[in-house]
Structure 1
Amino acid sequence: MRKRFKKIFAGVAAAMLVGVAVVAVPWYGKSNGARMNFQDTVKFSKADLTAAGECVKQYFFKFRDCKLTDIWYDATMDTYPVNYVETNNNGFIPKGTKGKDVLMLLSNYKTGSMAPEGFNKNNTYKNYEWWLVRNSAGEWRVVSCGYG
């Protein structure tokens, strides 16, 4: 009976250790507390910008051990001509996308000590770009992110 109890106890203890390790390792990015302070602009409504910001927050889940702190829209982007997107040959914006269906948001975020390869550990990234495209159903999708 004692041997059986020891095996059960050892199994439960091992399971608890694995559970603690899974909780302790930051496997995903955190975006819940990110500040979004959008206003209506000439080109986009506050609702459009908020929906795009929520899309970025969901996408940020992939940024392991990072914390999104701020998301905003630079209203000077409203002044870009409509054909700016149509002539863009960067490959991530679908051909034929019109001006009100493409958007660039900016953000700040912090990385932790276990950030993914290619990220500077324990660093703050500022003015990080998020390019989004809206489909015919009105839903935003992140098509690219990074600097410049």
Structure 2
Amino acid sequence: MKKIITVMLCIVLVLLFAGCGKNDDTSKVEIDYGASSVYSKEEIDSAIEIIKKQFASFEDCELHSLSYMPDEECNNADNIEWMNDLRTDDNKEAFTQCIAFESSFRSPEKGGGAWEANEEYTWSWWLARSEGGEWNLMTWGY
């Protein structure tokens, strides 16, 4: 009898713990690094991690891909000025670099909030920093 109870308890515990943990929708993201003459793979990866962290707050959404926008599209004077216009009081230093990505993701199966149900979205993500500093996620969306 003790053996049966122990086995049953073990089965219940396994089932309970199997349901625990966060479903990491960013673990299987297809990354397109493009060809940058401005940023190293490590610098691009550090920006991607910030995007993934923000994306993780999008409940029940599934991130499919992130693609680096070419240097000339994102890291130019107009966009750096735009990033500085978006700067908050938390960012004391002027930004001198920016980086951008296109993403593709699926909304929650049942929708909700601002999401259409089970829809594929394409968004841009913009980050900025002062020379060699930490990336700041400035804006994202359509």
TM-score between both structures, scaled by the size of structure 1: 0.65
Please give the residue correspondences for 1:1-148 in structure 2 after superposition, counting only pairs within 5 Å. 30-75=25-70, 76-77=72-73, 81-86=76-81, 91-92=86-87, 96-98=94-96, 100=97, 102-126=98-122, 128-134=123-129, 138-147=133-142
The answer (yes or no) to whether the contact 2:63–2:106 under 8 Å persists in 1 is yes
Unaligned runs of 5+ residues in structure 1 are 1-15
Aligned residues: 124
Secondary structure at the counterpart of residue 62 of structure 1: coil
Q: 1:31, 1:57 → 2: CA distance?
A: 6
Secondary structure at the counterpart of residue 121 of structure 1: coil
Cα RMSD of the aligned pairs, angstroms, is 3.2
What's the offset of the Cα at 1:141? Answer: 2.8
Unaligned runs of 5+ residues in structure 2 are 1-12
Q: What percentage of residue pairs aligned between the two structures are identical? A: 21
Post-superposition Cα deviations, 1:18-59, rounded to whole Å, max 9, x if no partner, equal x7xxx59xx877111111131441222222112111211111
Paired residue type of 1:122? N
Post-superposition Cα deviations, 1:49-96, rounded to whole Å, max 9, x if no partner, equal 121112111111110010000001121415x53354225675357572
The answer (yes or no) to whether the contact 2:84–2:95 under 8 Å persists in 1 is no
